[in-house]
């Protein structure tokens, strides 16, 4: 149920973009305790519409900068998030030679009431199933009907 938004300057190959998506997916499943379902959006921008501070906090970013935003049910610890950040930048550097300085993250930990997976129904209004993978274990409506 997490959703990932990946933004970058246009011009990279489909394989390059898919590699970023695959790395983010694999590492968020591994480090953030999120279920292994996949909802991702990759958006390319013209360079003039992709604005970033090239040296904020003394970290020098290039036009290859990638923004990664994740929304997921709150609960990951600071240590889990740090491990996720490091694993993603290390793997992107290894696979795509993407500079670690060029990967910018923003995580949103949200409540269970913030999700509707379809049908206009608050998917987790009755709580999140222990395994969070079986949609049949969560009633689709408050009265338990599907």
Alpha carbons within 13 angstroms on the beta-carbon side of residue 43 total: 12
C-alpha span between 29 and 80 (Å, rounded): 11
Which DSSP symbol is given to 141? S
Tens digits of residue pLDDT in 85-113: 999 999 999 999 999 999 999 998 888 77
Residue 138 confidence (pLDDT)? 33
Tokens of 78: 């600071």
**Is 2 considered catalytic here?**
yes
Mean per-residue pLDDT of the chain: 84
How remote is the C-alpha of 58 from its chain's centroid?
Answer: 25
Question: For residue 6, what pLDDT band results from cuts at 50, 70 and 90?
Answer: very high
Tens digits of residue pLDDT in 48-80: 999 998 999 999 999 999 999 998 888 889 999
C-alpha span between 59 and 46 (Å, rounded): 22
Tokens of 92: 């992107």
Question: For residue 34, what pLDDT band results from cuts at 50, 70 and 90?
Answer: confident
Instruction: Write down the pTM of the prediction.
Output: 0.81
Q: Which of 2, 54, 129, 135 is catalytic?
A: 2
Question: For residue 15, what pLDDT band results from cuts at 50, 70 and 90?
Answer: very high
Residue 10 confidence (pLDDT)? 97
Question: For residue 141, what pLDDT band results from cuts at 50, 70 and 90?
Answer: very low
From the list 68, 76, 62, the residue with the least C-alpha distance to 23 is 68
């Amino acid at each position: 149920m997490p959703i990932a938004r990946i933004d970058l300057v246009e011009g990279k190959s489909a394989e390059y973009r898919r590699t970023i998506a695959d790395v983010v997916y694999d590492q968020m499943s591994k480090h953030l305790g999120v279920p292994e379902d996949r909802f991702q959006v990759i958006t390319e921008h013209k360079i003039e519409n992709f604005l970033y501070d090239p040296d904020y906090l003394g970290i020098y970013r290039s036009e290859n900068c990638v923004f990664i935003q994740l929304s997921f049910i709150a609960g990951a610890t600071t240590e889990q998030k740090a491990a996720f950040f490091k694993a993603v930048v290390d793997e992107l550097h290894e696979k795509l030679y993407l500079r670690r300085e060029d990967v910018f993250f923003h995580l949103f930990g949200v409540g269970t009431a913030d999700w509707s997976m379809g049908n206009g129904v608050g998917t987790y209004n009755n709580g999140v199933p222990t395994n969070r993978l079986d949609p049949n274990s969560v009633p689709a409506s408050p009265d338990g009907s599907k």
